[in-house]
Amino acid sequence: MTLLLKILTIYLITIAIMRLMGKSTIIQMTPYDLVAIIIVGTIASEPLISTEFWPTLYALAILTVFHLFFSWLTLSQFANRFFLGEPTLLIKKGVILEDNLEKSRLSVAQLLSILRSKGYPQIADVDYAMLEPIGEVSIIPKAENTPVTVQHMEISIDDEGLPISVIIDGKIQYRNLALLGKSKEWVMDYLDKNNVAVKDIIYGYVNEKSKKMYINRRSDKPD
């Protein structure tokens, strides 16, 4: 097997493994996810510097099975605490809990930076801040600093549902049209009425409930 074919094969197999491990492996980056990614990368690179190809595939298969098994274990409360740990309270009622901050190996400067990036420059505005097992800091603002919503203002708005893409970069998304119960002819009829061709649309979507279609032409520019 040539080096080029090895690289392509390992590349595709590694992508397939990451997909099989689940989206949470990339998004949440739990401790066991991180370990799995590091080991997968190490094992996958082995054939590129040696002739051991099939043993590498076996090792990747075994690692994938182990990871899926541990992911299944974390569905239980006990295993979840063991593999992921528990949230750590960093701020309570606008006061930094120094001991918890030290245990989490976070400096005050790091915490302040995280708060600022989430839109809370003043600690006094924060009711609670928790370091989650996945490494994210969750912030619960004080009631008086909670963003105002339409519910608070007692305003009723029409719920148009989830916007579903039907045209992306000049291509009709037939699967999404099927989910909406619409056809290509329905889309083309709308476009004809607006005197625009499919190829001239960079993005078009339909609201799930209202079934209203909105389009962005390639030439459309904000004012």
Note the pLDDT tens digit of each residue in 93-139: 989 999 998 888 888 888 999 999 988 888 888 999 998 877 788 99
Q: What is the number of structural domains in the chain?
A: 3
**Of 81, 111, 134, which marks where a domain is finished?**
81
Domain that holds residue 43: 3-81
Residue 106 contacts residue 90 (beta carbons within 8 Å) = yes
Half-sphere exposure of 211 (CA within 13 A, CB side): 10
Q: Which helix (H) or strand (E) holds 96?
A: strand 95-96
Taking each helix axis from N to C end, the angle separating 3-21 and 54-73, rounded to the nearest 10 degrees, works out to 10
CATH code: domain of residue 111? 3.30.240.20
Whether the CA torsion 69, 70, 73, 74 is positive or negative: it is negative
Residues 6+ apart with CB under 8 A from 198: 167, 170, 171, 172, 187, 188, 191
What is the 8-class DSSP label of residue 170? Answer: T
Question: Cα separation of 197 and 16, whole Å?
Answer: 37
Whole-model pTM: value is: 0.51
Last residue within a domain, chosen from 81, 97, 128: 81
pLDDT band at 153 (very low <50, low <70, confident <90, very high): confident
**Residue 92 to residue 101: CA distance in whole angstroms:** 12
Q: Are residues 49 and 12 in the same domain?
A: yes
How does the average pLDDT of the chain come out, rounded?
A: 79
